[in-house]
Amino acid sequence: MDPLTTWKSVPEVNQMGYEEFVTVFGNVVEHCSLVAAAVWKFRPFKDVRHLHEEICIFIDQLPTAGGEGILRLHPDLAGRAAREATLTSESNREQRAAGLTDLTHEEKMQLTRMNDSYRSKFGFPFVICARRNKKEAIMEGIRSRLKNSPEVELHKGLGEVKKICYLRLLDLVEHEGVESRL
């Protein structure tokens, strides 16, 4: 998909009805259209960054179980959904960009083992912004984050969800003059 032909302008976003807004932004947080449904009422947005800030505020106000739920909606990196080709197009593109579609058999086994250990320790999957990390950084990230407490990992995981969300928003909305890094 060519972003230039699909980008929405901020005025277009601000004029969207609820249904169109959820159709367009329903997966900026993976499998969680509730987020788009919740922030629609905060239009008009000044720019894409303002829309992202409202999403972050919504995520930060969730109780622990809600935050954990958001993390659980994410597929494992190079996990079952990738093997079974059931990833969302966004996730597929992100995992490819990080080099996770080109892992050796050995690397796949190692990542699967670490993903499983992470999930059994914390009760939610390891989440990291794949477009901001190459496979080596992801492997190192999961290894070191496995040592953290559940509270720290809930916070770190949601921080990564916000980064993933920001990059997905930049794919959808015109953003001239807006910082592409958070």
* CB-nearer residue toward ligand 2AL: 10 or 59: 59
Is 52 annotated in the active site? no
d(CA 22, CA 38): 9
Nearest distance from C-beta of residue 111 to ligand 2AL, angstroms: 11
Output the CA–CA distances (angstroms, integers) from residue 176 to 7, 45, 169, 180, in the order listed: 11, 15, 13, 9
Nearest distance from C-beta of residue 119 to ligand 2AL, angstroms: 10
Binding mask 8-47 for ligand 2AL (x = CB under 6 A): ----------------------x-----------------
Q: Would you count residue 174 as binding ligand 2AL (CB under 6 A)?
A: no
* Region for residue 29 given its phi and psi (left: phi exceeds 0; alpha: psi -120 to 50; beta: otherwise): beta
Output the CA–CA distances (angstroms, integers) from residue 67 to 17, 30, 75, in the order listed: 27, 13, 15
Nearest distance from C-beta of residue 106 to ligand 2AL, angstroms: 20
Looking at the annotation, which residues are catalytic? 74
Contact residues for ligand 2AL, defined by CB under 6 A: 30, 74-77, 91, 94, 125-131, 164
